[in-house]
Amino acid sequence: MIYLDHQATTPLAPEAREAMLHWLSGPESMGFANPHSMHKAGRAAAAAVEVAREQVASLLPKGGRVIFTSGATEAINQAIRAVPRAETHPGIAFSALEHSAVVNSAIASGAMCQELPVSAEGLVDPEVSINEGTGLVAVMQVNNEIGTIQPVARLAERAHEMGALFLCDAVQGAGKLAPPEGADLIAITAHKLYGPKGIGALWVRDGVKVLPLIHGGGQESGLRSGTLSPALCAGFGAAAALAKARMDADFQHLYGLASLARSILSRWTLNGSETARWPGNLSLRLEGLNFPRLMSDCREVAFSAGSACGSGTGAPSRVLTAIGLEPVQARASIRLGFGRYTTREDVEQACRAIEAAALAQGA
Ligand code: PLP
């Protein structure tokens, strides 16, 4: 099977797996020790957690701290629900491209919410009108469905000018691009950057007050209770260090793969901006395409209709409709997500299979 669904999740890098093994081993190695215990084995585990924290921090701006969480969904919930906003600024504004982790936690918080529109290119206008009384603006770095890169530095400036904090969901950009500039809060997750599932982080700029979302033993300086997994931390850290070292090489590789795919799928229309985009994500549509049939005809290719979380509901993608596509166009779209370990042969074989299946159904 050819895996082209890297926005849903990425394979574990061998280096990350290797870094995890000691902390997963049996009683003889003491790698299982609780990193919050005071004995020697516990302190060794705690030291590994701190090494990992530094490695993860190296993907993020200077001048902040990393709180380990179970993933980006939890990090986003903490940013939205446990960072106090001034009484005069209770509102939350988020872009129409945001992941449901942002949208649903903002709605669940009970705050007044504003959805910021996006252009047909899949970009938020940096000068978009934001409601007065907004205390938190949330705009993602790279969209997970169409790969567009948002003008977050200017949007963060806009947020600050009106007395609001800026939250950036950098899940799809972390380890791939320079960190978002100007953000006060950044959410990332290991499993989108070749690390393990079940761990993520909330980065908090120094001076920004954050409260715990989860209460208990007071781990993570009281901000996120619960026993940390040294294995997950070590895997996240190793994946982050590797991503940092390979950032340019990965970008060039993916750029080449995207160009190859576009040359084979030349009849298909790109959803979202041609230029402000992450090359590992191609959202393409073809008039008349029957997506379920395509998927069943191309069972040996793992690709997706839109976001993994949204697919399966039958509803057209929220992001594709936000950029102005008709439901029928949104339903005739596919997402191809390339990764570090995808080869040119994979792309060639998968795209030829997809094109042949589309032609066979008359699309
Ligand atoms: N934000 C974006 C843009 C995502 O793509 C995802 C994962 O699908 C998430 C947030 C949630 O991340 P996690 O799976 O770590 O909770």
65 pocket-lining for ligand 1 (C-beta < 6 Å): no
Q: Measured in angstroms, how far is the CA atom of residue 294 from the centroid of ligand 1?
A: 26
Question: Which atom of ligand 1 is closest in space to residue 200's alpha carbon?
Answer: 15
Quick one: how far is CA 105 from the chain centroid? 16
d(CA 326, CA 275): 23
Beta carbon of 304 within 6 Å of any ligand 1 atom: no
CATH of domain 2-8+247-360: 3.90.1150.10
Active site residue 168: no
Q: For a pocket test of ligand 1, which of 144, 148, 168, 317 has the largest count of ligand atoms closer than 8 A to its C-beta?
A: 144
Average pLDDT over residues 285-290: 96
DSSP state of 199: -
Quote the crossing angle between the two packed helices 40-57 and 230-245, to the nearest 10°.
30
Q: 184 C-alpha to center of ligand 1: Å? A: 19
Shortest-distance atom of ligand 1 to CA 73? 16
203-215 burial code (b ≥16 CB/10 A, e <16): bbbeebebebbbe
Q: CB of 279 closer than 6 A to ligand 1?
A: no
State which of 99, 317, 335 you would mutate to test the pocket of ligand 1, scoring each by most atoms of that ligand within 8 A of its C-beta: 99
Residues 6+ apart with CB under 8 A from 317: 145, 305, 306, 307, 310, 330, 333
CB atoms within 10 A of CB 126: 15
State whether the beta carbon of 189 lies less than 6 angstroms from ligand 1: yes
Q: How far apart are CA 77 and CA 211, in angstroms?
A: 11
Name the residue type at position 207.
G
Q: To 10 degrees, what angle do helices 247-264 and 230-245 make?
A: 70
* 140 in contact with ligand 1, CB cutoff 6 A: yes
Cα–Cα distance for residue pair 207/111, rounded to 1 Å: 23
What is the model's pLDDT at position 89? Answer: 97
CB 16 within 8 A of CB 238: yes
pLDDT given for residue 306 in this prediction: 63
For ligand 1, whether the C-beta of 171 sits within 6 Å is yes
* All structural domains of the chain with their residue ranges: 2-8+247-360, 14-241
Task: Verify whether ligand 1 is closer than 6 Å to residue 179 (CB atom).
Answer: no
Chain CA centroid to CA 156, Å: 18
Q: How many CA atoms lie within 13 A of 176 on its CB side?
A: 31
73, 139, 168, 186: residue to mutate for ligand 1 pocket, most atoms within 8 A of CB: 73
- Pick the residue whose CA is nearest to atom 16 on ligand 1: 73
Q: For position 315, what pLDDT does the model report?
A: 79
Question: What was the pLDDT predicted at 308?
Answer: 47
Nearby residues of 341 by Cβ (< 8 Å), 6 or more positions away: 11
With a 6 Å cutoff on the Cβ, whether 71 touches ligand 1 is yes
Q: Which residues of 133-156 are buried (b: 16+ CB within 10 A; e: fewer)?
A: bbbbbbbbbbbbbbbbbbbbebbb
Q: How far apart are CA 246 and CA 210, in angstroms?
A: 32
Calculate how far, in angstroms, residue 102's C-alpha sits from the geometric centre of ligand 1.
10
**Mean pLDDT of the chain, nearest integer:** 96
Per-residue pLDDT tens for 241-265?
Answer: 999 999 999 999 999 999 999 999 9
List, for residues 312-360, the tens digit of each pLDDT value: 566 789 999 999 999 999 999 999 999 999 999 999 999 999 999 999 9
Q: Is any atom of ligand 1 closer than 6 Å to the C-beta of 75?
A: no
Mean pLDDT confidence for 152-181:
98
Q: Which atom of ligand 1 is closest in space to residue 7's alpha carbon? A: 5
Beta carbons within 8 Å of 74's beta carbon, 6+ residues apart: 200, 202, 213, 214
14-241 CATH fold: Aspartate Aminotransferase; domain 2 (3.40.640)
Which of the residues 113, 298, 309, 351 is marked catalytic?
309
The yes-or-no verdict on residue 310 having pLDDT over 80 is no
Q: How far is CA 2 from CA 53, 322, 351, in A?
A: 33, 30, 10
Q: Are 52 and 201 in contact (CB under 8 A)?
A: no
Predicted TM-score (pTM) of this structure: 0.97
**What is the per-residue pLDDT across 194-220, written as a single tens digit (0 to 9) for each?**
999 999 999 999 999 999 999 999 999
At residue 63, the pLDDT reads: 98
